């Protein structure tokens, strides 16, 4: 093996490792929702992903997640909460609320129609 | 029409009998009622206010009662939250929130608390009251004092929550409770103050789901996105042509001055590098924004792959074009601008086609939403008025003319017609409707006009519930999707890692020029991988399948129900109401002693005209169907447990059981034997005697639905075991079973034991579907692997069921199973395609075939394959739209 081959190999493996670490092992920051007027309300921006994408809420209290889709790409047109059987069609650049009351604690995913964009709803007791 | 407040009778207005009270003219049916009223008017007016449609009233002790519709309650426990919040207020006597009607009933002292505070309390609890907003144009306002005058006057009106008048736009925005005050009233108040109202824009009701309202806007947004993608495609596609030609100068036989190594080609390449920028950052801008945004949330998607791929290709090519001397060999200084242009063009084209195809996939739900009527012609206080459908309240009387859409669900109170219900039930033949029949909102009145009473409005109508259920089902997950979810969350990073590893392998062990091979492989792997096809496979088929079901009157509640419905072995059918009509009808007329059958039927039915027995009703219906003219009976007498008697046309008719005949000493002859045979067949025979002489038998029975036999035969053909369950005795049950071709019968089953019998079948290792009415059979439906409820009329949201059949026919069962099978097959095709494509495509792109064929997959072909793989998935799902029931 020549020097450049060794270099490419090492760099490549390091890069692979960092891809694995970044996407699978590192944890994103969770956003805790503030409660006002008895409703837990949060604003989620949709653009290539959900931001914030990890949302911590309390069980048993009504929840309103306001989605604003800041892109026109068709992928993110729908947001789906399969565990709550809730869905909303997100009109671009418009605040679309999704409302429900999470009554069971646990971790629930939400996603776009294809499951490419994902977020997590952590319901605390 | 007016209403007599004393006896409650509907009377012609103006009536000859009337009184003036509190400035109001009150009319009566007779002088009797008038004098009663005059003695104690308060008494009657109070009771007038107690009409069910009144939702806001003051009682004598100063307590006000208020009914507020509440939006957004999701569970029964929500009611407590709201009640507690309201009860915290001072002056609240009582607060009850009903979850099923979604209403709050509040009794309060108006001097301690006002409506606004109650609404705020509801809001504080986290819910919205069902309020509506009205916008009115007001003219002839000259000063700001006019504003406060109108605002004050409106705010005084009970039911108006807020009113704001804008002088600049000459308009008023009024938020009000439709249950307490109606648009015309508000208009009257403003006009009463001397300000003409010009035009009324349709009030935007605050009720209703936010997802439905912007549907048109979404369509427009989709259209815009489509056009943008097409423009982006065209731009990249036009540039692709010269890019391809100049990337392979030898292949296209360009003159020597433009061959590799020439200065001219180098200049062309450098300009291609520059021209690639608008392709990347305009035509392909969404790949970069999408990739970056995804990166931020630590996820990766198709955009990540494409963006990385084309960036790598562009970087390498640009370096090769500008600094060819840094490469050790000339062969290495090659460019791939064509890859950038072609991949961007093709993926854009693919995405545009996908938007088009996906629009078709969601057509079913769009059609349903489009069915919603806009206005209703209600009769209030004797006046016809057109109001927005959101303002129709329970018990409103609504007039429907031929050709019009029925606005909400209700019961016909006057008139008859035939109604086209195909949009809701899937049944193409119009249904005849008479007084007391149910009508479904959004169906079309064909021939006659009629009046009906609204029984379900707003979110409770059958259509609103169907839309809700279809949307829920479309957003649910089929169990098969869980595997896909696992895969797709690892998919993109795995592909990136595979691409890097392939690069290393080709760089270290590949033939010369190894850097070029390594780069081509890297880019091709990134580009060929298609996470979209994988992610789309299940949801898109589910969407089409569930939508197709709704078109045929089959409501599949979830992906789970759909998947479960394809794995059934046994179908348990409840007898009454499922296989049979569930109500008796006339089956036989037997005669003796020279009587004609029409004659016997005429006498029997005429006698029954005076009775209220359900069996009697079926005889009358039977007679009417055979066009037998009925007479009015005289001297009617019912003997409970025996039968009835009356005089018809001067003849004494006796109708009843054997005991009744014995009581009158009537010789029945061989009729007894015939009647026993009828009883064995599950029929109810009744003897008819004319002037103390036996005339014959009329028999009624719960008849088998006309298409039950066909449907059961079809189910058996599909390889399913069909079982009938009934509370009837063994002989009757077997008679019916034989008639419809059911082999296995559970008879004499008590209603509460039905679930247990389903369980017994499950213990035999069978996957069981239970078909029943959803009310008495709810436990059995829930016990079964799949519960199918046969809906009746407007009851569609049957909790215990996995699948609801709006149309009463058993054919729906076969159809639901067929559709589920077709949808699952479609999902599997899609998944197989997506897995197969990626599973084969990625290794080939990585160069797996190189040792055997000596060539690599071109990134251009990879781009084309990737672009069309997801279009293929959507197109395949759309094939389901052509699903035709085989029955």
Mutate to test the interface with A, among B71, B75, B302, B500 (most CBs of A within 10 A): B500
- Nearest C-alpha in B relative to A23: B298
Nearest-angstrom CA–CA distance, B632 and B605: 10
- Cα Rg, chain A, nearest whole Å: 19
**For residue B526, pLDDT beyond 70:** yes
- Nearest C-alpha in A relative to B124: A37
The domain made up of A28-124 has a fold known as Immunoglobulin-like (2.60.40)
Q: Using 50, 70 and 90 to split pLDDT, how confident is the model at B12?
A: low
Model pLDDT, residue B56: 44
Model pLDDT, residue B450: 93
| Three-class secondary structure of residue B147 per DSSP | helix
Q: Which phi and psi (to 5°) does residue A68 adopt?
A: -120, 120
> In terms of Cα–Cα distance, which of B559, B481, B543, B468 is closest to A86?
B468
* Candidates A28, A61, A85; nearest CB to B472: A85
Q: Is B574 known to be catalytic? A: yes
Model pLDDT, residue B209: 35
Segment B202-253, tens digit of pLDDT = 333 333 333 334 456 777 888 888 999 999 999 999 999 999 999 988 888 8
Q: Which phi and psi (to 5°) does residue B585 adopt?
A: -145, 160
Segment B709-738, tens digit of pLDDT = 999 999 999 999 999 998 888 888 888 898
B412, B452 contact by CB (below 8 A)? yes
Please tell me which residue, B98 or B303, carries the higher pLDDT value. B303
Largest CA distance in chain B: 125
CB contact under 8 A, A94 and B78: no
Q: Taking CB atoms and an 8 Å cutoff, what residues of chain A touch B211?
A: 87-89, 96
B62-72 burial, b at 16+ Cβ within 10 Å, e below that, comes to: eebbbbbbbbb
DSSP state of B881: G
Q: Taking CB atoms and an 8 Å cutoff, what residues of chain A touch B124?
A: 37-38
Q: Which phi and psi (to 5°) does residue B384 adopt?
A: -85, 135
DSSP string, B54-113: --EEE-TTS-EEEEEEEE---SHHHHHHHHHHHHTSTTEEEEEEETTTTEEEEEE-TTT-
Model pLDDT, residue B44: 64
Is B91 exposed, middle or buried, given 0-12, 13-18 or 19+ CB atoms closer than 10 A? middle
Segment B798-807, tens digit of pLDDT = 777 899 998 8
> In terms of Cα–Cα distance, which of B864, B297, B226 is closest to B530?
B864
* Candidates A13, A53, A73; nearest CB to B297: A53
Segment B422-481, tens digit of pLDDT = 888 887 788 888 888 899 999 999 888 999 999 888 878 888 888 888 888 887 778 888
> In terms of Cα–Cα distance, which of B573, B561, B478, B565 is closest to B818?
B565
Q: Using 50, 70 and 90 to split pLDDT, how confident is the model at B545?
A: very high
Nearest-angstrom CA–CA distance, B82 and B97: 7
B118, B376 contact by CB (below 8 A)? no
Tally of CA atoms within 13 A in the half-sphere of A120 that contains its CB: 16
Q: Taking CB atoms and an 8 Å cutoff, what residues of chain A touch B489?
A: 118
The region, left, alpha or beta by phi > 0 then psi within -120 to 50, assigned to residue B525 is alpha
Per-residue pLDDT, averaged over B410-420, amounts to 91
In chain A, what are the domain boundaries?
Answer: 28-124
User: Strand A118-124 to strand A54-58: parallel, antiparallel, or no bridges (unpaired)?
Assistant: parallel
Is B138 exposed, middle or buried, given 0-12, 13-18 or 19+ CB atoms closer than 10 A? buried
Model pLDDT, residue B91: 83
**For residue B489, pLDDT beyond 90:** no
Q: Using 50, 70 and 90 to split pLDDT, how confident is the model at B880?
A: very high
- Nearest C-alpha in B relative to A29: B297
DSSP state of B576: I
Nearest-angstrom CA–CA distance, B176 and B173: 10
Cα B385 → chain centroid: 29
Q: What angle do CA B529, B530, B533 make, to 5 degrees?
A: 155
**For residue B59, pLDDT beyond 50:** no
Q: How far is A32 from chain B (nearest CA, A)?
A: 16
Q: Using 50, 70 and 90 to split pLDDT, how confident is the model at B784?
A: very high
**Highest-confidence segment of A34-48, B316-330, B708-722:** B708-722
Nearest-angstrom CA–CA distance, B18 and B5: 11
Mean pLDDT rounded to a whole number for chain A: 85
Q: Using 50, 70 and 90 to split pLDDT, how confident is the model at B279?
A: very high
B632, B653 contact by CB (below 8 A)? no
Mean pLDDT rounded to a whole number for chain B: 83
Model pLDDT, residue B89: 84
B657, B643 contact by CB (below 8 A)? yes
């Amino acid at each position: 093996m020549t020097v450049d081959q060794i270099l490419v190999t090492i760099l490549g493996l390091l890069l692979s490792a960092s891809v694995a670490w970044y996407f699978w092992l590192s944890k994103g920051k969770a956003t805790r929702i503030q409660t006002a007027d008895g409703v837990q309300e949060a604003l989620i921006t949709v653009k290539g992903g959900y931001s914030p994408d990890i949302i911590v809420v309390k069980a048993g209290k009504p929840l309103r997640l306001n989605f604003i889709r800041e892109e026109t790409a068709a992928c993110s047109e729908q947001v789906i909460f399969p565990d709550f059987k809730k869905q909303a069609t997100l009109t671009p650049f418009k605040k679309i609320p999704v409302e429900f009351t999470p009554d069971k604690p646990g971790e629930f995913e939400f996603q776009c129609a294809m499951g490419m964009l994902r977020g997590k709803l952590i319901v605390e007791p | 029409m007016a209403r007599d407040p004393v006896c409650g009778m509907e009377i012609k207005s103006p009536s000859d009998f009337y009184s003036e009270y509190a400035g109001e003219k009150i009319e009566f049916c007779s002088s009797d009622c008038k004098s009663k009223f005059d003695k104690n008017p308060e008494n009657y007016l109070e009771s007038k206010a107690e009409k069910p449609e009144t939702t806001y009233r003051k009682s004598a002790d100063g307590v006000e009662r208020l009914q507020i519709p509440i939006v957004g309650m999701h569970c029964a426990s929500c009611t407590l939250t709201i009640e507690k919040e309201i009860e915290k207020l001072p002056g609240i006597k009582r607060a009850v929130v009903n979850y099923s009607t979604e209403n709050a009933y509040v009794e309060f002292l108006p001097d301690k608390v006002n409506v606004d505070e109650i609404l705020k309390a509801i809001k504080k609890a986290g819910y919205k009251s069902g309020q509506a907003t009205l916008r009115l144009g007001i003219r002839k306002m000259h000063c700001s004092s006019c504003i406060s005058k109108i605002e004050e006057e409106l705010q005084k009106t009970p039911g108006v929550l807020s009113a704001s008048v804008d002088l600049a736009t000459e308009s008023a925005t009024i938020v009000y409770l439709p249950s307490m005050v109606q648009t015309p009233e508000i208009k009257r108040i403003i006009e009463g103050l001397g300000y003409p109202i010009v035009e009324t824009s349709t009030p935007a009701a605050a009720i209703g789901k936010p997802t439905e309202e912007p549907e048109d806007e979404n369509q427009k947004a989709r259209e815009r996105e489509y056009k943008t993608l097409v423009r982006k495609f065209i731009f990249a596609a036009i540039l692709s042509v010269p890019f391809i030609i100049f990337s392979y100068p030898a292949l296209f036989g360009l003159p020597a001055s433009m061959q590799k190594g020439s200065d001219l080609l180098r200049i062309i390449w450098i300009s291609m590098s520059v021209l690639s920028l608008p392709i990347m950052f305009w035509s392909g801008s969404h790949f970069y924004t999408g990739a970056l945004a995804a990166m931020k949330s630590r996820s990766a998607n198709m955009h990540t792959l494409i963006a990385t791929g084309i960036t790598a290709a562009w970087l390498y090519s640009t370096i090769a074009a500008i600094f060819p001397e840094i490469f050790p060999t000339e062969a290495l200084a090659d460019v791939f601008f064509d890859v950038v242009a072609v991949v961007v063009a093709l993926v854009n084209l693919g995405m545009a086609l996908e938007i088009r195809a996906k629009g078709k996939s969601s057509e079913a739900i769009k059609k349903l939403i489009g069915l919603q009527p806009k206005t209703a012609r209600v009769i209030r206080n004797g006046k016809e008025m057109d109001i927005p459908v959101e303002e129709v309240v329970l018990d409103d009387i609504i007039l429907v003319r031929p050709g019009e859409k029925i606005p909400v669900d209700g019961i016909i109170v006057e008139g008859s017609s035939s109604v086209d219900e195909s949009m809701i039930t899937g049944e193409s033949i119009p249904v005849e409707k008479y007084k007391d029949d149910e009508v479904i909102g959004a169906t079309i009145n064909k021939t006659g006009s009629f009046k009906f009473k609204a029984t379900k409005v707003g979110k409770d109508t059958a259509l609103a519930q169907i839309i809700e259920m279809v949307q829920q089902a479309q957003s649910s997950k089929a169990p098969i999707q869980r595997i896909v979810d696992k895969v797709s969350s690892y998919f993109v990073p795995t592909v990136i890692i595979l691409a890097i590893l392939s690069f290393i392998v080709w760089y270290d062990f590949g033939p010369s020029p190894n850097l070029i091979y390594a780069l081509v492989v890297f880019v091709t792997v990134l580009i060929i991988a298609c996470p979209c096809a994988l992610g789309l496979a299940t949801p898109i088929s589910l969407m089409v399948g569930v939508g197709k079901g709704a078109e045929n009157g089959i409501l599949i509640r979830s992906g789970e129900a759909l998947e479960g419905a394809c794995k059934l072995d046994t179908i348990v059918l409840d007898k009454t109401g499922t296989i049979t009509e569930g109500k008796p009808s006339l089956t036989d007329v037997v005669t003796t002693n020279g009587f004609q059958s029409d004659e016997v039927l005429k006498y029997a039915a005429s006698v029954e005209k005076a009775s209220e027995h359900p069996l009697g009703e079926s005889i009358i219906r039977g007679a009417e169907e055979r066009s037998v003219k009925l007479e009015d009976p005289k001297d009617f007498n019912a003997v409970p447990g025996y039968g009835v008697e009356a005089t018809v046309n001067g003849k004494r008719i006796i109708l009843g059981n054997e005991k009744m005949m014995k009581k009158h000493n009537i010789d029945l002859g061989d009729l007894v034997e015939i009647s026993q045979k009828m009883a064995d067949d599950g029929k109810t025979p009744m003897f008819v005697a004319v002037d103390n002489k036996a005339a014959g038998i009329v028999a009624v029975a719960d008849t088998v639905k006309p298409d039950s036999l066909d449907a059961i035969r079809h189910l058996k053909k599909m390889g399913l075991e069909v079982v009938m369950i009934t509370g009837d005795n063994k002989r009757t049950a077997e008679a019916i079973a034989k008639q419809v071709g059911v082999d296995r019968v559970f008879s004499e089953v008590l209603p509460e034991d039905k679930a247990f019998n389903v369980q017994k079948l499950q213990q035999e290792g069978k996957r069981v579907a239970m078909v029943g009415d959803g009310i008495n059979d709810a436990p059995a439906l829930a016990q079964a692997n799949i519960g199918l409820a046969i809906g009746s009329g407007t009851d569609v949201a049957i909790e215990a069921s996995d699948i609801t059949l709006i149309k009463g026919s058993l054919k729906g069962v076969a159809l639901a199973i067929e559709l589920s099978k077709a949808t699952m097959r479609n999902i599997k095709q899609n998944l197989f395609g997506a897995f197969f494509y990626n599973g084969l495509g990625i290794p080939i792109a990585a160069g797996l075939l190189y040792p055997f064929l000596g060539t690599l997959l071109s990134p251009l072909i990879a781009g084309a394959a990737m672009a069309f793989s997801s279009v293929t998935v959507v197109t395949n799902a759309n094939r389901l739209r052509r699903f035709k029931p085989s029955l």
